[in-house]
Structure 1
Amino acid sequence: MSITESASTTSPYIAAVDLGSNSFHMVIARIVKGDIQLLHREKQKVQLAEGLNEDLVLSEEAIERGLNVLRQFADTLQPFAPQSVRVIATYTLRRAKNAATFLRRAKTLFPFPIEVISGQEEARFIYQGVAHFEHFSGKRLVIDIGGGSTEFAIGDGAQPLRLSSRNMGCVSYAKSHFPAGKISARRFNKAIIQAEQELEPIISSFRATGWQQVVGTSGTIKTLRDIVVNFGWTNGPVELCHLLQLRDYLLNFDNSAELELTGLTDDRKLLLCSGLSILIAAFQMLQIEQLVYVDAALREGVLYEMSDRMQHLDIREQTMYSLLQRYDIDQAQANRVKGTALALLALVRDSWQLDDEDALLLGFAATVYEIGLHINSSGVQKHSAYILQNANLPGFNQEQQSLLACLVRFHRRKIRADEIPYFSLYELPKVINLLVLLRLAVLLNQKRRDDFLPPLTATAKVQYLQLQLAPEWLQLQSVLAADLLQEQKILKKIAFKLEIPTLQDLPDGAVFTELAS
Structure 2
Amino acid sequence: MTNTPQQDNAASAYMAAVDLGSNSFHMVIARIVQGDIQLLHREKQKVQLAEGLNDDLVLSEEAIERGLTVLRQFADTLQPFAPQSVRVIATYTLRRAKNAATFLRRAKTLFPFPIEVISGQEEARFIYQGVAHFEHFDGKRLVMDIGGGSTEFAIGEGSQPLRLASRNMGCVSYAKTHFGAGKISSRRFQRAIVQAEQELEPIVSSFRASGWQQAVGTSGTIKTIRDIVVGLGWSQGALELTQLLQLKDYLQKFDSCDELQLTGLTEDRKLLICSGLSILIAAFQMLQIEQLVYVDAALREGVLYEMTDRLQHLDIREQSIQSLVQRYAIDQAQAERVKQTALQLLAQVKDSWQLTDEAALLLGFAATVYEIGLQINSSGVQKHSAYILQNANLPGFNQEQQQLLACLVRFHRRKIRADEIPYFSLYELPLVMNLLVLLRLAVLLNQKRRDEFLPDLQASARVQSLQLQLPLSWLQQQTVLAADLQQEQKSLKKIAFKLDIPALQDLNDAQLNQDAV
Taking structure 2 as the reference length, the TM-score comes to 0.97
Give the residue type in structure 2 aligned to 1:372.
G
Q: Paired residue for 1:373?
A: 374
Structure 1 residues 56-71: aligned runs within 5 Å: 56-71=57-72
1:421-466 deviations in whole A, cap 9, x for unaligned?
0000000010000000000000000111111000111111111011
Q: Paired residue for 1:391?
A: 392
CA distance in 2, matches of 1:398, 1:192: 31
| DSSP 3-state at the match of 1:140 | strand
Asked if the contact 1:8/1:80 (under 8 Å) is kept, the reply is no
CA distance in 2, matches of 1:40, 1:3: 7
The structural deviation recorded for 1:11 is 1.9
Q: Paired residue for 1:406?
A: 407
Give the residue type in structure 2 aligned to 1:382.
K
Structure 1 residues 5-404: aligned runs within 5 Å: 5=6, 10-404=11-405
CA distance in 2, matches of 1:60, 1:352: 37
CA distance in 2, matches of 1:507, 1:9: 65
| DSSP 3-state at the match of 1:494 | coil
| DSSP 3-state at the match of 1:277 | helix
Change (3 A) 1:509 1:270: same
| DSSP 3-state at the match of 2:507 | coil
| DSSP 3-state at the match of 1:401 | helix
Asked if the contact 1:4/1:76 (under 8 Å) is kept, the reply is no
Asked if the contact 1:471/1:502 (under 8 Å) is kept, the reply is yes
1:381-428 deviations in whole A, cap 9, x for unaligned?
000000000000000000000000000000000000010000000000
Asked if the contact 1:82/1:112 (under 8 Å) is kept, the reply is yes
CA distance in 1, matches of 2:294, 2:385: 42
Asked if the contact 1:7/1:13 (under 8 Å) is kept, the reply is no
| DSSP 3-state at the match of 1:322 | helix
| DSSP 3-state at the match of 1:115 | strand
Question: What are structure 2's unaligned runs of at least 5 residues?
Answer: 513-517
Change (3 A) 1:9 1:377: farther
Q: Paired residue for 1:3?
A: 4
Asked if the contact 1:8/1:81 (under 8 Å) is kept, the reply is no
Change (3 A) 1:481 1:29: same
CA distance in 2, matches of 1:282, 1:288: 7
CA distance in 1, matches of 2:9, 2:390: 37
The structural deviation recorded for 1:34 is 1.6
Q: Paired residue for 1:492?
A: 493
Asked if the contact 2:192/2:279 (under 8 Å) is kept, the reply is yes
| DSSP 3-state at the match of 2:5 | helix
The structural deviation recorded for 1:357 is 0.2
1:143-195 deviations in whole A, cap 9, x for unaligned?
00000000000001111010000000000000000001000000000000000
Change (3 A) 1:407 1:37: same
CA distance in 2, matches of 1:230, 1:426: 49
CA distance in 1, matches of 2:407, 2:325: 19
Change (3 A) 1:411 1:510: farther
Asked if the contact 1:7/1:80 (under 8 Å) is kept, the reply is no
CA distance in 2, matches of 1:446, 1:429: 26
CA distance in 1, matches of 2:385, 2:3: 49
1:79-134 deviations in whole A, cap 9, x for unaligned?
00000000000000000000000000000000000000000000000000000000
1:279-313 deviations in whole A, cap 9, x for unaligned?
00000000110000000000000000000000000
1:355-403 deviations in whole A, cap 9, x for unaligned?
1000000000000000001111111000000000000000000000000
Give the residue type in structure 1 aligned to 2:168.
N
Change (3 A) 1:294 1:96: same
Change (3 A) 1:113 1:9: farther
CA distance in 2, matches of 1:416, 1:332: 29
The structural deviation recorded for 1:4 is 2.4
CA distance in 1, matches of 2:112, 2:508: 53
The structural deviation recorded for 1:510 is 5.9
The structural deviation recorded for 1:5 is 3.1
Q: Paired residue for 2:478?
A: 477
| DSSP 3-state at the match of 1:506 | helix
CA distance in 2, matches of 1:142, 1:2: 30
Taking structure 1 as the reference length, the TM-score comes to 0.97
Asked if the contact 2:175/2:275 (under 8 Å) is kept, the reply is yes
Give the residue type in structure 2 aligned to 1:232.
G
Give the residue type in structure 1 aligned to 2:401.
Q
| DSSP 3-state at the match of 1:5 | coil
The structural deviation recorded for 1:6 is 7.5
Aligned residues, how many?
511
Asked if the contact 1:214/1:291 (under 8 Å) is kept, the reply is yes
CA distance in 2, matches of 1:6, 1:35: 20
The structural deviation recorded for 1:257 is 0.7
CA distance in 1, matches of 2:172, 2:306: 28
CA distance in 1, matches of 2:12, 2:293: 35
TM-align CA RMSD: 1.3
CA distance in 1, matches of 2:3, 2:54: 42
Change (3 A) 1:81 1:201: same
The structural deviation recorded for 1:237 is 1.2
The structural deviation recorded for 1:10 is 4.5
| DSSP 3-state at the match of 2:413 | coil
CA distance in 2, matches of 1:305, 1:5: 25
The structural deviation recorded for 1:8 is 9.4
Give the residue type in structure 2 aligned to 1:37.
Q
Change (3 A) 1:367 1:149: same
CA distance in 1, matches of 2:70, 2:170: 21
Give the residue type in structure 2 aligned to 1:465.
L
